[in-house]
Amino acid sequence: MIEQLQCSQNDSLIEVIKVINENAKGIAFITDDQGKLCGTITDGDIRRALLNDIGLQEKVSSIVLANYIYGHQYDDYDALKSKISEKVKIIPIVDSNHVVVDLFEYNQNLYLPVAIPSLNGNEFKYLTDAFMSSWISSSGEYIDRFEKGFSEYCGCQYGSAVSNGTSSLHLALLALGVGEGDEVIVPDLTFAATINAVLHANAIPVIVDVEKDSWCIDPKRILEAITPKTKAIIPVHLYGQVCDMDAIMDISQEFQLKVIEDCAEAHGAMFKDRKVGSIGDVGCFSFFGNKVITTGEGGMCITNDEQLDDKIRMLRDHGMSRTRRYWHDQVGFNYRMTNLQAAIGLAQLENISENHKNRLTYEDTYKDIFKDNHEIEFQKFDLKNRTKITWLVSILIDEKFDRDAYIENFKNRGIDVRAFFFPLSDMDIYKPYCKSQTPVTHELARKGMILPTYQSLTYLKEIKRLLKDV
């Protein structure tokens, strides 16, 4: 780990920023050519330097402070701890020649949130390039590259980057002609964006139950809910798991229904040999900060239908004609993504395989920690034809335990554990749209918990330590 925190005094600020992003500690130790410590630099020091008009290409030696805190190799624990303060959580340790040999880290109030985005690829490089190009709004090469790269990754010909996942669902519904009086079938166990998009389209959501094994929308319940007014189905690939897309597509063909895949939590998951989002009429994604790849806020609609893509783009861009500038064929929306966001998204896409691998490592680590705890059940990996991803590690706890007390126990250890989504049908604003019982959803909502899951492996050791006696 110590090598991941060291920089040369001759490195530029942008090179030091990259090191700090990669080590996820918020600090770098600056050394001379002999490896002797010259000082320490935090991400905050660099931000302040940039605000004082010091350029990114300046050597880090220009801002290293003369006074810095460090420990000696033979200092005991109490001596090292005495150097820690509210502002200083990590210090370098040097030998008798002042060469960095180790570090000391202490944080009595360590807090591990559910998700932390990893920005240790080309995010800063591409973002800076987009900024320097002056293309910072909703046009620019990074939007084109991100749309092309992500849609190809998912196995689709077309992709339209949008402002967030909710707007992607809204645009998909409108582009498919879903509107007033039309019914759209949605699962009871999902984030509210799914049903909100239907309501924004002035359509009528119809809430149904989910499958016990997959936690995703149940095709049997879809069949029971179909009426002459049904226009579309929104299967939600929940918590990285995949819906039974064969059954859903069979239903859609039999009843001539549109299928909008909500893939906000399942980037890269697969049904048979196809990635989610490429199976229905439109695939809708979110790039919120806790997703497998992020643009801060953002989303995308992907499809293999060129005319549908054109309609989505037209609606996204104020309803402006695709061939006649400033001519508006229909009332549209400003649902565009900026070039700056797309620059981050493209860098994230380059690392998506590594992100999947690291998230799976977290899931495997939790499974090892809880291998003797028979009251905990992990989300299933072995469902036929379905290749789930690890979005956020999701577990169920036996109902004989107080789930909320269990969550509080985690939080007391500094680990932010979340309950599953509330059933939509339990909330007064959505209750009128559920005409049937949803017992599976309610059981899962009572038992479900989400554990911290990251794209960087930085906190694995801390999680193991904090959960040792749970």
Report the CATH number that the domain containing residue 332 is assigned in CATH: 3.40.640.10
What's the rounded Cα separation, in Å, for the pair 141 and 277?
Answer: 24
In this structure, the answer to whether residues 88 and 220 fall within a common structural domain is: no
Using only C-alpha atoms, what is the Rg of the chain?
A: 25
* Res 469: pLDDT: 64
In this structure, the answer to whether residues 420 and 447 fall within a common structural domain is: yes
In this structure, the answer to whether residues 345 and 368 fall within a common structural domain is: no
- Structural domain of 81: 2-105
Q: Is 116 contained in some domain?
A: no
What's the rounded Cα separation, in Å, for the pair 136 and 342?
Answer: 10
In this structure, the answer to whether residues 318 and 360 fall within a common structural domain is: no
In this structure, the answer to whether residues 210 and 344 fall within a common structural domain is: yes
Domain termination site, one of 322, 350, 378: 350
The vertex-229 CA angle with 226 and 233, nearest 5°, equals 55
pLDDT tens-place string over residues 254-266: 999 999 999 999 9
* Res 199: pLDDT: 98
N residues, the chain: 470
CATH number at residue 32: 3.10.580.10
pTM of the model: 0.86
Listed as ranges, residues in the chain with pLDDT below 50 are none
In this structure, the answer to whether residues 295 and 153 fall within a common structural domain is: yes
Task: Give the three-class secondary structure for 360.
Answer: helix
Q: Is 237 contained in some domain?
A: yes
In this structure, the answer to whether residues 230 and 325 fall within a common structural domain is: yes
Number of domains in the chain: 3
* Res 360: pLDDT: 97
The vertex-403 CA angle with 407 and 443, nearest 5°, equals 135
Q: Is 113 contained in some domain?
A: no
Task: Provide, for the chain, the percentages of residues in helix, strand and coil under a 3-state DSSP scheme, each rounded to the nearest 5.
Answer: 35, 20, 45
Listed residue (420, 150, 198, 152) closest to 299, CA to CA:
150
In this structure, the answer to whether residues 216 and 263 fall within a common structural domain is: yes
* Res 109: pLDDT: 67
- The Cβ of residue 246 has, within 10 Å, a number of other Cβ atoms equal to 14
Q: Is 111 contained in some domain?
A: no
Distance from chain centroid for Cα 412: 25
Domain termination site, one of 320, 350, 380: 350
In this structure, the answer to whether residues 437 and 301 fall within a common structural domain is: no
Q: Is 117 contained in some domain?
A: no
Q: Is 115 contained in some domain?
A: no
What's the rounded Cα separation, in Å, for the pair 221 and 209?
Answer: 6
In this structure, the answer to whether residues 300 and 340 fall within a common structural domain is: yes
In this structure, the answer to whether residues 356 and 313 fall within a common structural domain is: no
CATH number at residue 385: 3.90.1150.10
Domain termination site, one of 331, 350, 369: 350
In this structure, the answer to whether residues 332 and 386 fall within a common structural domain is: no
